[in-house]
Structure 1
């Protein structure tokens, strides 16, 4: 019926000029066309659309059919070949500005449940429209903004298993985005090769640059990207990352200007998250590294990357933290040992990165991230020179407030002394008055006689170990160092003995009371088992505390064993002081 209705008025339209169509003509054509689509008469509509005699009608009035045609094509389990053919024809003949406005509105109004399917259909149509336009930059910018707005709403698959499943279609959207931008990238490349850059080239370049930098931020920063895991089976997001970096290398000045901001005033305009992801792809995954100039010193690269590392480590997302740790490792590995000077520690990024590593080591609930952060922390220490180590150790001991971290620092101080002795160098930051001053600051009980020995066990044991080591090392030399060490050791062990006495007395009493209480309850249970309500006794037992009594017993015993170990080290240190020969 709609096809017949369309045919009835077509004769009058065929003698009407394009600019003479009235509003009622547009309404009539639109109603008839939409009815054809709704009733499944797309074949008849296609015949009308393609007739040469009707092209002025199509150009003037057919744009309004686009939303319904897109919806028709998106319908699953329904033949849409005619609808696709109509779309393809309209895209080639209708007014480009009107087409672009309607298609962009379709992108902005995408059904969240059909994002990937919609983008797959709409972006090729928008691409064709843009390629018909003389001035593409503005339309391309609007299209890419709309596209990335929709992509940013999709969850990023993590880990690789989710990426292969691509349940929400993010990977499909990324592939569609790459296909969409390729003609415009090629246009910029051709104009650059021909040395015939035009205003259009100047406009396309920043638009494509903005697209690439936004893609680095979302979704690539959240994605799991690993060269080794992707060697055999290239993932869609890995391909997306490599293509984005290739586009950047193709359309932009050398990559250092983007990743380091060298001589580029606009570098600060790009999100730091994007530049952090670029640094990760370059220095960790080695994507586009073949076009990165090898003229920068390892220390300079590390210094530039520390800002990005700090950003990545300060987040709580596993993907961000892992990228930050990997970037830190690769940046540090390029630097030779003991080459980082104390001046670098004063830089904000060099001050904050170790603090973030400490937070991950102590607070992160993900075990493998805690372990990796410890490795990176130790690698950072190894790259510091003697003076920087001395200052760094002092700073961490004052700020960490964590016995485990403090024990790592004390162990590193002992290792530094060992290296110094093996090298035969008797002058430095871990000798003489400077070293004694450091020891006086770290070989202490932070809360005096109120120190919780169990909580601070790691630090206390390492403090006792380094005291014993240093005393044994210096006892035959009879130097001022020996006198200072004896003074430090006497002050420390004297206070520690007071704490040990109080702690052992307290925990011994607790253990004795626990065992006595256990005997009493066992006896009461035996007596009550014949004539009392057993359930009531069980409930009362549960009210005593969440920790089972056997566990309490083991904890108390373990504490007492720990105190015995501390006391044995104290005794050994006292023996060395009394009998230095």
Structure 2
């Protein structure tokens, strides 16, 4: 019988000194104790552990029973009465056994499970683990080993993304985050209360610091936080993040010297821009989303037109809008592309006039994307419109400064050979801007400087655009003819659209693409004709007025 075997081993060991216990004794004790658990003799095992005469034996050998007991506790099919006894045995073993051996045993048990059992194991063992570490002298090493093991296991779990996933918490990560805060709180308080700053205390601070930085990477980097208005107080990740940041700032003192007692919105924006820049360089949806949210929250605190142009001398204040452009043009997720566009517009709104002017020049030179350039040109038009409506002109969007900016807008990158289809968004925006300028600014007033530069605009933009349209239309009309012939023979062939070859397209699809391109050219041509008509009307009208004055 397993109980009799165990009692026999204990009786033999009771007459031995602690240092005389043999390896064979440990093995026999473990086997007999495990058989007691397997055969259901838990009440008898509890009595043996509670017996004061067995205290030394349990201290040295009892840790071997922790594994079998914990595995029974993790089994959900055990009766309530049995589970109660298992908990009593487990608590006694934690209280009585050698803490050094217990620490290693508990960490091995944490490392064993996979999948959903990871969190179950951690939630069961965190409190005993804390108790064991408190007994050890080399506390910093022990807490470091424990936190590293815990983080390695937790990092195997998927981070819940939606509100529903957080509430369901299928893998138990949210519960573990809350439990980890309670687990570490004791050691954090110990660091704070220790005023002597001993070497051991510094080591403990370092181990806690390592865990905080790891936690910023996982799970906080990819975690989604609930809105403050919707159960934000119950958000496990927000709670976890708050505790981590509080430790880093107020215990470790990281950046605390850079946090004034009263934080101005401009200071907070500058403080956050470097972090936003890093977020936008990543490719994970949740990380980019965090960067966009941080930027939005930072910008919303600032009044429109109040962000001085000098801030653009700080590297991140230019790289962040360039990062937004990359998300807008390269990110495969539509919601993030739209959000980036909205954030770029919000950022533009906050800059003062010179800042807007500087950013427009930068993005026109660096974006290399027709749609983005069209967006910037529309913003330039809006700024000109506001300037012309004021009693006092804005020098950055009238006169010589504006002409310098228009040089980047009203031109074709490769002259008449520019790919008009690929650049159609930019070209249409440029023509619309030019049409607006012709309508709004009279030649005699010439507030924008347009009429002074009209000759250059015609030579660098309007005439090459005419030539380019003629060549492009001729090319696509020839392609349509070839496609129609291919359709008759039912052959597959390739065509070139927007500078890219599209191979093996059915003729009927080719015709749709080609006709769509021709429609775009017709649209550009009609706007171009209207612009030239307006220029002619305006110059003729001005000449007649001047003759009348004479």
- TM-score normalised by the shorter chain: which range applies? 0.7 to 0.9
Tell me, which stretches of 5 or more residues in structure 1 are unaligned?
A: 265-291, 522-536
Matched positions, count: 527
SS in structure 2 of the partner of residue 263 of structure 1: helix
Hey, what's the Cα distance between the residues in 1 that align with 2:247 and 2:318?
36
1:248–1:304 CA distance, 2 compared to 1 (3 A): closer
| 8 A contact 2:177–2:236 mirrored in 1 | no
Hey, what's the Cα distance between the residues in 1 that align with 2:351 and 2:456?
30
Q: Quote the residue 1:267 is aligned against.
A: none
Tell me, which stretches of 5 or more residues in structure 2 are unaligned?
A: 496-502, 542-550
Aligned-residue Cα RMSD (Å) equals: 3.0
Q: CA deviation at 1:171?
A: 2.3
| 8 A contact 1:486–1:577 mirrored in 2 | no
| 8 A contact 1:467–1:485 mirrored in 2 | no
| 8 A contact 2:318–2:359 mirrored in 1 | no
Does 1:72 find its partner at 2:66?
Answer: no
Say which of 462, 483, 492 aligns to 2:452: 483
Hey, what's the Cα distance between the residues in 2 that align with 1:247 and 1:163?
19
Does 1:467 find its partner at 2:451?
Answer: no
Q: Quote the residue 2:512 is aligned against.
A: 554
Q: Quote the residue 1:225 is aligned against.
A: 225
Query: 5 Å matches for 1:423-442?
Result: 423-426=390-393, 428-442=395-409
Query: 5 Å matches for 1:77-156?
Result: 77-79=77-79, 81=83, 82-111=85-114, 114-133=117-136, 136-156=139-159
| 8 A contact 1:205–1:251 mirrored in 2 | no
1:177–1:425 CA distance, 2 compared to 1 (3 A): same
Hey, what's the Cα distance between the residues in 2 that align with 1:247 and 1:562?
55
Q: CA deviation at 1:495?
A: 0.3
Q: CA deviation at 1:77?
A: 2.2
Q: CA deviation at 1:67?
A: 2.5
Q: Quote the residue 1:404 is aligned against.
A: 371
1:511–1:23 CA distance, 2 compared to 1 (3 A): closer
Deviation digits for residues 83-138 of structure 1, max 9, x if unmatched? 33222111001122222122223324444562112212221210221234466443
| 8 A contact 2:232–2:238 mirrored in 1 | no
SS in structure 2 of the partner of residue 222 of structure 1: coil
Hey, what's the Cα distance between the residues in 2 that align with 1:168 and 1:234?
21
Q: Quote the residue 1:216 is aligned against.
A: 216
SS in structure 2 of the partner of residue 253 of structure 1: helix
| 8 A contact 1:209–1:252 mirrored in 2 | no
Q: Quote the residue 1:263 is aligned against.
A: 257
1:576–1:542 CA distance, 2 compared to 1 (3 A): closer
Q: Quote the residue 1:575 is aligned against.
A: 533
Hey, what's the Cα distance between the residues in 2 that align with 1:542 and 1:49?
85
Say which of 236, 239, 242 aligns to 2:239: 242
Deviation digits for residues 431-470 of structure 1, max 9, x if unmatched? 2222212212221111222211111111001111111222
SS in structure 1 of the partner of residue 413 of structure 2: coil
Hey, what's the Cα distance between the residues in 2 that align with 1:501 and 1:135?
83
